[in-house]
Structure 1
């Protein structure tokens, strides 16, 4: 490891703990990470304790081990989440802890595995850990997702390079996306946060009723929830602190009305879904529901995801990201949703983020559904932004205002 890489990783770990997680004294930190991320994770553990963490625990993952599990485990095992795992997540919510998810898995790790078995595992996690998803989306814990290169992931991004070169190039790209390459990364994030808040302030002031999307292959109308709130950058926890869930983040986002989506939308970047790549797909909506799906690759995996539950056929998130943005301008397909969604306008199938709805904090799942807020055990983002995307916002009194022209902000 070069001295420069070591310094960048130190800065990245500091940024993750102090800005992303905003770990508070006395909080516990739980980390989910691939084995190859160990050099970075060790730095995060050190930073966490230096910032007053009560305890730091790491849950290591290995794609090859998980692949064997998915292929060989009894079907009954795939349908359950161990009780100790459930209890760990319950304690995390009760104690207002921190969760760090380190992404870097091979996006093709589970290709060739029966999609039905993949869905069983995803559904089990979604159903039996639903309470945790709800708590996360409300802000009952601090959480963040960051990326670390692994050999398998890096080689899908830079297939023409050697493994060592691909990892080095992916590290360089990641550092740029999170502003670690800048002289003062923390100050750079503060400025970025202000820019995002300016956008959300404008959108919240206008109270748009409908967004109209138009580009090659896309002609879509999305009614926003009447009580929607635009968010971006940091989130407010339920106990009075702030944190940034996605590092990087370039999006501002809100919640649609569950039954208010009509038209067709085309994906513009590959989607890594349950260890399979889904490419060049279109979804057609009527009264909010997906009624037709087409894909050139990965159709079966996409259909299985849609069949996970009723809510996965409806949208839960609408996110705006300019085409001319730091991640997009790298001209890299990351094959990883954390990065690709922040290079592109995107939508999400499945659960709505409840903090995007005014007054939703204490509502039950049934009350949220009755209110027109989509509920699901899943939440899958997919990218739809492009250089030819136009978006208009329409207010309740019929005023139509350009929001995006040729893929970028129009105001």
Structure 2
């Protein structure tokens, strides 16, 4: 990206996505290959009055060294100051900006998958707690790297692949618009209106049916659906995902039955690629999990705690967004989950509960892993408390 594009990217992230307020501390997460974007965002944050930009850096090569050489009993150790750092940021009512996108695809593929599954860094449990309490105004955006570009566009020369990936990311971020913020507000209006309709309908369950998928997910009474616009507990609006195309809620973790097959590869936070994921649920719990890659890693992850094998999110994505129209697998959950309907194993979102009783029924876990199940062949039907079946999302088009 040239300097002008970097500046526009940073402005979208800081001013609109995170909606940084003067005097806030900013947690900025980066990784090798994203230095230019990290610096541009930090520069914009200080221009907007940040009190301090706290850089959190993740290097997957160092994680590889740990998995390869560290004592087995130490792999789940997370220094307590990592969690304290996040908790303190929440107490400070700070902001957070993260850059997604792989920097070293396949780096861990030749290592013991069980050991890889036990080390969940850079994911930190306390992040979910702080987000659940709405203490931060935060956002995640895709940060392109040459390695990521070669993964997405393997048939192109490296420079061409990077240029194409950057062009695609600028398009889905609406930075190819004269006024990207206005474009995002229009899209957000549409998503929020659908979320309100779903909230008002108060379906008892959703039925998913398509190739490799036949699953019923129970919903919680009083839980709301949300999209695009978030607000902190102190009233600061922000857009957590840029781009965002989803409408989501947290389901009843005890009422999921049937089987589901992923429609796109899942890329874990450390870059591990999980292909052809199949999960079968009984009474809310994943009782069978298979995949053609990283199978043992995923099986290890879902035994991490009681909630890791249960759902914490269901999200619906229509075909009106820009990501799916590109017909590209991006190998990045932020993008791929906003191209197709998805579900998430692990932690739910208590801020979606209508009351404390409903919040207490939501899933709790150290993990939150989204994987994509949507396609034009997937039909999603709402089931009322009276058993009426109402078409919701068929072939990627809203029917409600």
Say which of 204, 208, 212 aligns to 2:203.
208
- Is 1:115 matched with 2:113? yes
Instruction: For residues 244-266 of structure 1, give each alpha carbon's deviation from its aligned partner in whole angstroms, at most 9, with x where no partner exists.
Output: 11111100000111111111111
- Is 1:388 matched with 2:377? yes
1:73: how far off?
3.1
Aligned position for 1:197: 192
CA distance in 1, matches of 2:105, 2:306: 26
CA distance in 1, matches of 2:242, 2:397: 21
CA distance in 2, matches of 1:265, 1:80: 32
With structure 1 as the length reference, what TM-score do the two structures score?
0.92
Aligned position for 1:26: 23
1:392: how far off?
1.1
Aligned position for 1:50: 47
- Is 1:400 matched with 2:398? no
CA distance in 2, matches of 1:164, 1:62: 23
1:239: how far off?
1.2
Say which of 139, 142, 150 aligns to 2:145.
150
Q: Is the 8 A contact 2:117 2:301 kept in 1?
A: yes
CA distance in 2, matches of 1:275, 1:130: 19
- SS in structure 2 of the partner of residue 56 of structure 1: strand
CA distance in 2, matches of 1:79, 1:144: 27
RMSD (CA atoms): 1.8
CA distance in 2, matches of 1:147, 1:168: 14
CA distance in 2, matches of 1:180, 1:53: 24
CA distance in 2, matches of 1:309, 1:85: 20
Superposed, which structure 2 residues align to 1:290-309 within 5 Å? 290-309=286-305
1:402: how far off?
0.9
Instruction: For residues 309-358 of structure 1, give each alpha carbon's deviation from its aligned partner in whole angstroms, at most 9, with x where no partner exists.
Output: 22111110000001353100011100110000000000000111111212
1:86: how far off?
3.0
- Provide structure 1 residue ranges, at least 5 long, that are not aligned to the other structure: none
Q: Say which is worse superposed, 74-83 or 44-53, in terms of deviation.
A: 74-83
Q: Is the 8 A contact 2:118 2:301 kept in 1?
A: no
1:288: how far off?
0.6
CA distance in 1, matches of 2:8, 2:367: 33
Aligned residues: 398
- Is 1:251 matched with 2:246? yes
Q: Is the 8 A contact 1:107 1:336 kept in 2?
A: no
CA distance in 2, matches of 1:160, 1:20: 33
Say which of 111, 127, 130 aligns to 1:135.
130
- SS in structure 2 of the partner of residue 374 of structure 1: coil
- Is 1:288 matched with 2:284? yes
Q: Say which is worse superposed, 399-408 or 194-203, in terms of deviation.
A: 399-408
- Provide structure 2 residue ranges, at least 5 long, that are not aligned to the other structure: none
CA distance in 2, matches of 1:331, 1:103: 20
CA distance in 1, matches of 2:33, 2:194: 37
Say which of 173, 176, 192 aligns to 1:178.
173
Q: Is the 8 A contact 1:208 1:224 kept in 2?
A: yes
Aligned position for 2:309: 313
CA distance in 2, matches of 1:350, 1:79: 17
- SS in structure 2 of the partner of residue 300 of structure 1: helix
1:10: how far off?
1.4
CA distance in 2, matches of 1:35, 1:279: 25
1:77: how far off?
4.3
Q: Is the 8 A contact 1:258 1:373 kept in 2?
A: yes
CA distance in 1, matches of 2:346, 2:385: 26
CA distance in 2, matches of 1:304, 1:60: 26
CA distance in 1, matches of 2:311, 2:150: 32
Q: Say which is worse superposed, 211-220 or 133-142, in terms of deviation.
A: 133-142
From the superposition, tell whether residues 332 and 125 of structure 1 become closer, same or farther in structure 2 (CA, over 3 Å).
closer
From the superposition, tell whether residues 286 and 193 of structure 1 become closer, same or farther in structure 2 (CA, over 3 Å).
same
CA distance in 2, matches of 1:380, 1:40: 25
- Is 1:217 matched with 2:206? no
1:216: how far off?
1.1
Aligned position for 2:154: 159
With structure 2 as the length reference, what TM-score do the two structures score?
0.95
Aligned position for 1:354: 350
1:177: how far off?
1.0
